[in-house]
Amino acid sequence: MAGFEALDDLMTKAGVDSRRLRGAVALLAGGRWWTLADLVRETATSRRTVEALLRALPLEHSGDRFRINPANWLKEHHTVISSDISDYWPIEILRERYGDILERLETLIAKAPRGRHVLDHVPATAETVLRRALLLGERFWLPGARVLCVGDHDLTSLAVRMLHPEVEVAVADIDDRILGYLDEQALGVRTRWADLRLGLPPSLRGWADLAITDPPYTPEGIGLFTARAAEGLRDREQGRILVAYGASERTPMLALKVQKALLALNLLNEAIFPDFNRYYGAEAIGSAADLYVLRPTTKTWPAVAALTDRAADHTATAIYTQGPQAVESAPGQLDDAERAAAALDGFEPGLLAGAWPRDLAMPRTRLATLLAKPYTADPERVAIAVPAGLEAALPRLLLATRARCARVLLAHAPDDLPALAALLAPVYVLTTRRLSGDAHVLDAVRLAPAAGGADAVVRRIMDSAHGKIANVWREALTGAASLTKRQARTVIEEAAPWAADLTLLEVPLHRVATLPAAVARTLGAATQLG
């Protein structure tokens, strides 16, 4: 039969790694019809390799599905077939033991916000996130433990809470849609906004016993996300970091670069579970990724500090494989002298924040510093340059500065200016104009403080974005109403239980939007107590 010479040649070239190919042949000859995407994901083999295998096989086709006729194939060509394909908690076992949880996860993943390619989002299967939660329980003692998900488009946090409700779980993510979706499920997951290039939320530093992340698959992305996960550990001796990473079997050098990035953090590699994670998409890497279990050493912490300090520099923010912050993209043009001059025309800032030309003789700071330290926010006028790919930080950057006027140079127009204006309405009046190309300038002019009532309390909270919300809120209530500190604390906990130990800069935007209504409820409760 024509085509077997090509198959034999393919198997010979694959050598000991031909096991994955033989497994694919076993699946194709098992009687089931397969799509290309399903076969890639099931075998954890890159799309290019599977396509090469399919070209060497006599296939039957039915629409976009195919198979080997088992009656003809198994009789004469069984020597290339191996049906012993290992797996972690096979799907049959998962459905038998955890059917209800698996079904719920499948529904949640299907309804979750669509992934953003510029953030390298590729959804993991429900089986994968359930296996992650199972592995945590099998390998670690979880009673009293805290788990931090550094990015969670896959909804691993929900699987952990479903399977281990005794575990505290927190998520730090750049995508406000995901944070809102997690909160909607009311499973007790703590949600925090974070652009990890700019820092880990203060409330999550030194918080967790275990951290898990499925980062962008670049050495830069792996290194940064893993370093932030390490910053999140409270137990520096016994804590662990779980990292998902996958590469095509055709690109071992890329995988080596990633492993070197992990080695540079002086992390002990305790285990690698091959092909543990499966995805819908990512066919270039076989729709699969390994799972690393890493343990910090005493030399990890200086390495983490050095890496995160470099990441805070606006010139070192490219960590993704796609979009404006891809590692192979051309650098942003916000530091172009002519464009900067046009943006600052008629505006004399006392402080520059972000990617401004180096020849501007003015005090300057990094975006990460503006978010982290309140003393950088005091000048009368602040000019902020936001490179492409960091637009999600814009609301927080404006809240972080207490300047009377802020001018922002953006690589692109704000995604939803009316929504941003409504969110910041208690503090700013916003206007924008196009500068050149896609670049825009946004002016934020601070309003006079409200005279009293709920508006004054909201304004005080938003003017103190670096402070803990509950503390600022309590002080405002005790000043505006005849309440003791204990009474004020009680009514705040009832109106906004999410506000404890948080700063406004790490709160998901949907929480910020509900702040005025929550403040009004506390004032109403204060009136009743009075």
Amino acid letter, residue 252: P
Please compute the mean of the pLDDT values over residues 103-130 and round it to a whole number: 92
CB atoms near residue 321 (< 10 Å)? 17
Is residue 397 within 8 Å of 368, Cβ to Cβ? Answer: no
Per-residue confidence (pLDDT) for residue 17, from 0 to 100: 67
pLDDT above 50 (res 102): yes
What's the DSSP call for residue 187?
Answer: S
Per the structure block, which two tokens stand in for 104? 């719920």
What is the tens place of the pLDDT at every residue in 274-304? Answer: 999 999 989 999 999 999 999 999 999 999 9
Distance of CA 335 to the CA centre of its chain: 27
Per-residue confidence (pLDDT) for residue 1, from 0 to 100: 42
Percentage of the chain modeled with pLDDT above 90: 64
pLDDT above 60 (res 335): no
Per the structure block, which two tokens stand in for 80? 């290339």
Range from 121-125, 271-275, 479-483 carrying the lowest mean pLDDT: 479-483
What is the tens place of the pLDDT at every residue in 375-405? Answer: 766 679 999 999 888 899 999 999 999 899 9
- Maximum separation of any 2 CA atoms in the chain, in Å: 91
Instruction: Convert 96-154 into a string of H (helix), E (strand) and C (coil).
Output: HHHHHHHHHHHHHHHHCCCCCHHHCCCCECHHHHHHHHHHHHHHCCCCCCEEEEECCCC
Distance CA 314, CA 368 (A): 9
Is residue 377 within 8 Å of 404, Cβ to Cβ? Answer: no
What is the tens place of the pLDDT at every residue in 70-81? Answer: 776 655 554 454
What is the tens place of the pLDDT at every residue in 177-225? Answer: 999 999 999 999 999 999 999 999 999 999 999 999 999 999 999 999 9
Per the structure block, which two tokens stand in for 35? 């799509």
Helix (H) or strand (E) holding 423: helix 417-423
What is the tens place of the pLDDT at every residue in 306-318? Answer: 999 888 775 567 8
Q: Which of 106, 152, 226, 201 is nearest to 502 (CA)?
A: 201
Top-confidence residue, 66 or 413: 66
Q: Write down the pTM of the prediction.
A: 0.88
Distance CA 485, CA 345 (A): 48
What is the tens place of the pLDDT at every residue in 235-271? Answer: 898 899 999 999 998 899 999 999 999 999 999 999 9
Distance CA 277, CA 285 (A): 11
Please compute the mean of the pLDDT values over residues 458-481 and round it to a whole number: 90
Per-residue confidence (pLDDT) for residue 358, from 0 to 100: 84
pLDDT above 90 (res 9): no
**What is the Cα gyration radius of the chain?**
26
Distance CA 262, CA 239 (A): 16
Per-residue confidence (pLDDT) for residue 333, from 0 to 100: 45
Range from 158-172, 309-323, 371-385, 476-490 carrying the lowest mean pLDDT: 309-323
pLDDT above 70 (res 153): yes
Per-residue confidence (pLDDT) for residue 43, from 0 to 100: 86
Is residue 317 within 8 Å of 390, Cβ to Cβ? Answer: yes
Which SS3 state, helix, strand or coil, does residue 374 take? helix
Gap between the terminal Cα atoms of the chain: 91
- Name the average pLDDT for the chain: 89
pLDDT above 90 (res 337): no
pLDDT above 80 (res 69): yes
